[in-house]
């Protein structure tokens, strides 16, 4: 396999297998939603699209954020801690975030598309090994204005090591999450709106045994768990 890393700006050109990575917090939150029983998650690019989808699918929960902060019209924020205590058995959710969902909806040329985070890294690597794509492109969604995205680069590097058959020590990758600009924000007492408890959940490596695979159906970006 050949491995590449791209940003939100360049991911529209990515082909082959594409993994949109958002460790803190979108695709950790999505994984917790699946663990809470959610059947599928529709990924949206904008708040307006998410609200329109709720009108189209009554009874669907909305979760997400704008610039990391909750959206008043949504049912839930982008918090794995908030989602962890819920019973979402059989429910459909709609998720819109500033980074993670953008990496999916912009990757329009991908032949195989997954959402990735550390909590399901091992399963994601196993899924890709079974698929045997020639190229795997990691979308580093956390590279934003003033953000280095190293929490997502660390996840991409960890996945690359697994796909090369290595058994890397996870500790340095977790340290990179905490030391990234986003990680430091979540441990800064001056920003209580960003929960350190959320960050701790984001580094629970391989907590879940499913990969998160994106399907295109009827014009929707559908995220589903696939146990590997």
Give the DSSP letter string of 127-193: HHHHH--SEEEEEETT--TT---HHHHHHHHHHHHHHTT----SHHHHHHHHHSHHHHHHT-TT-TT
- Sign for the pseudo-dihedral over CA of 164, 10, 15, 141: positive
Please tell me the predicted confidence (pLDDT) of residue 47: 98
Average pLDDT over residues 98-107: 98
What distance in Å separates the CA atoms of residue 91 and residue 155, rounded to the nearest whole number?
Answer: 28
CB-based contact 94:42 (threshold 8 Å)? yes
Q: What does the pLDDT look like over 34-77, one tens digit per residue?
A: 999 999 999 999 999 999 999 999 999 999 999 999 999 999 99
Sign (positive or negative) of CA dihedral 172, 213, 56, 141: positive
- 118-150: pLDDT as tens digits: 999 999 999 999 999 999 999 999 999 899 999
pLDDT the model gives residue 85: 86
Write down the pTM of the prediction. 0.97
pLDDT in tens, 140-183: 999 998 999 999 999 999 999 999 999 999 999 999 999 999 99
Higher pLDDT, 85 or 119: 119
Tell me the CATH number of domain 2-227, given options 3.30.565.10, 3.10.129.10, 3.90.1560.10, 3.90.1170.50: 3.90.1560.10
Residue 177: the pLDDT is 98
pLDDT at residue number 145: 87
Query: To the nearest whole percent, how much of the chain has pLDDT over 70?
Result: 100
Closest by Cα among 162, 143, 164, 145 to 23: 143
Taking the CB of residue 178, how many other CB atoms lie within 10 A of it? 19
**pLDDT for 21:** 98
**DSSP SS3 for 227:** strand
């Amino acid at each position: 396999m050949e491995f590449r890393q791209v940003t939100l700006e360049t991911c529209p050109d990515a082909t082959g297998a594409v993994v949109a990575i958002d460790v803190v917090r979108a695709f950790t939150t999505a994984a917790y939603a699946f663990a809470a029983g959610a059947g599928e998650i529709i990924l949206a690019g904008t708040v307006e699209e998410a609200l329109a989808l709720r009108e189209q699918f009554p009874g669907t929960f909305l979760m997400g954020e704008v610039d990391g902060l909750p959206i008043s019209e949504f049912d839930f924020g982008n918090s794995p801690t908030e989602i962890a205590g819920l019973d979402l058995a059989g429910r459909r959710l709609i998720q819109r975030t500033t980074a993670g969902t953008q990496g999916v909806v912009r990757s329009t040329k991908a032949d195989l598309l997954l959402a990735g985070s550390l909590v399901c890294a091992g399963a994601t690597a196993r899924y890709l090994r079974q698929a045997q794509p020639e190229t795997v492109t990691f979308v580093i969604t956390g590279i934003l204005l003033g953000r280095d995205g190293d929490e997502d680069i660390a996840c991409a590097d960890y996945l690359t090591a697994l796909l090369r058959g290595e058994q890397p020590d996870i500790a340095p990758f977790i340290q990179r999450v905490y030391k990234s600009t986003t990680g430091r924000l979540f441990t800064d007492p001056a920003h209580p709106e960003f929960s350190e408890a959320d960050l701790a959940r984001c580094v629970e490596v391989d907590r879940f045994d499913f990969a998160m695979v994106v399907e295109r159906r009827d014009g929707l970006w559908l995220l589903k768990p696939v146990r590997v």
